[in-house]
Structure 1
Amino acid sequence: MQGSYPSRLAEGNVGQLMFVPPGATLEWHWSTGRQRAVSCMFDLESIGALGNYDWNWAEVDLSRTLDIRNDYLLLGMRKLAEEAKCPGFASELQIESTLTLMAFELRKQFFAGPHEAHNKELQRSDVHDRDSRLGRAQLQLIHNYIESHLKTDITVADIAQQCNLSPRALATLYKNTTATTLRQAIAQARLDRARAMLSNPRLLIKQVGYECGFRGAAAFVAAFHKATGMTPAQYRQRYS
């Protein structure tokens, strides 16, 4: 990809998190005073099968990359900074798994597949009865919360609290908006993350299960096999 950002950028155009695609040129001058930043460079060869996908940045509006409002990506950058500052147990594996998940999240952010595109179309569509569906900002809040808490035992009540709604109201509104239940959305998010992590052969299968919120290796294998017809090991052998 060849491209560059506008020659003049106002500070308001740049958010807390940005991503500069390969081949693009960005010049940025900080304001006066002390500034701290964490930078991370992706090597496509290090993220398994994800690196083989078509990352066609030429079709992406570069201005969208200057202010990425994604809680999971922001959390990932903070985790990388913590590991770099104070390496802990199995630090290399922790960093590699975090990078793989961040690459997967970036792909969802900028290259939505048919399922994501359908959901975005639902979000953009005109709604006659606005009280019967969730708005775009609410959906983004819900999905960000799910992605940021997949390692925990997420409940509908937890998500409802973030939206200032009752669990029953949230469940109804979410299904009206997306045609799926919140439990299905959580299960799908766990499955999507597992697939992304399994594409990296260096990550242990039990570690993948843990990062995706399964209580044990057996539970992960059973859930993955039920959803895909393959065990995690079989999926990795076929697609990594």
Structure 2
Amino acid sequence: MNAIHYSEYDCEASGNFLTEASLARQGFDIRVEHAQWSNTGTALIETGDSCLLRLMLPTSAQTKPNFGSFPSHVAHRFHPLGNLLFIPRGTEFHLRHAASEQKALVCLFDPSSLGVLGSYRWNWQDGVSEAMLNLQSGYLHASLQRLAEEVAHPGFASELQTECLLTSIALDLRREFIDADDDAVHSSHSAEKLSPRQLNILRELLDSASDEGRSLGHLAQACQLPLRTLSSRCKNTTGMTLRQYAAQSRLQKAVALLADSRLLIKQVAYQAGFNNAAAFSAAFRKELGVTPEEFRHQRQR
């Protein structure tokens, strides 16, 4: 399979790339790489016949955020890159980097060369979007971390293990960026409902209980929709407004967390996505008719 083509075009010094570990077979080439840039600059990355997934890995060096852009996209603006990004095959990608050092898992693969996936058509171009620059899927993140471990410390049947992981990853990416768009074309109601990818993003962020999951504005930004439109489509999809859906998701998580008697109420509140214990108790009592303490006591009895 063809490797990616990397070329700097506004920096005198190109980046230095050191491969710490690698695993390459028919259909995939996976590496754990150290990248170091002595100056700021911009580079053109061409993926050729391969898709590219990059997962940032922990390093002792202080990292600085990079930015990226798809020149074929209408907006053609540089956006901050997340820990996990995806560049489809046959795509030009512009990287704007700082003078920094980074460690990452770089995964090149061709889905059409992975067993039964060869029978599917893999047309990524209609689904290229800025969402690819900051994938929010916890599943993909965990799968790529597993790949990084497999490359660094190969075990029994590493090639088979790697191919199985890549097959699952490719199918998940297809559901987000190919099949979701096909469904939108064939469904007359899809423009007024959340796509499977958008609904998955909502669930991932709300379940994470991160600061992003607490902000309705960030949820809208992650789904690439205005807040009012997101709330309307959320209601058409789930029967609840965005605020109601977020509140129900937090309470469902809180109920599960309350089963762990080792957690303080304020810990449950924070992990479920509430800003403080008082707001959590008020919302819990309004919905279930009892306080979190009373609910926990009833369950223990």
> Comparing both structures, which one devotes a greater share of its residues to helix?
1
> Comparing both structures, which one devotes a greater share of its residues to strand?
2
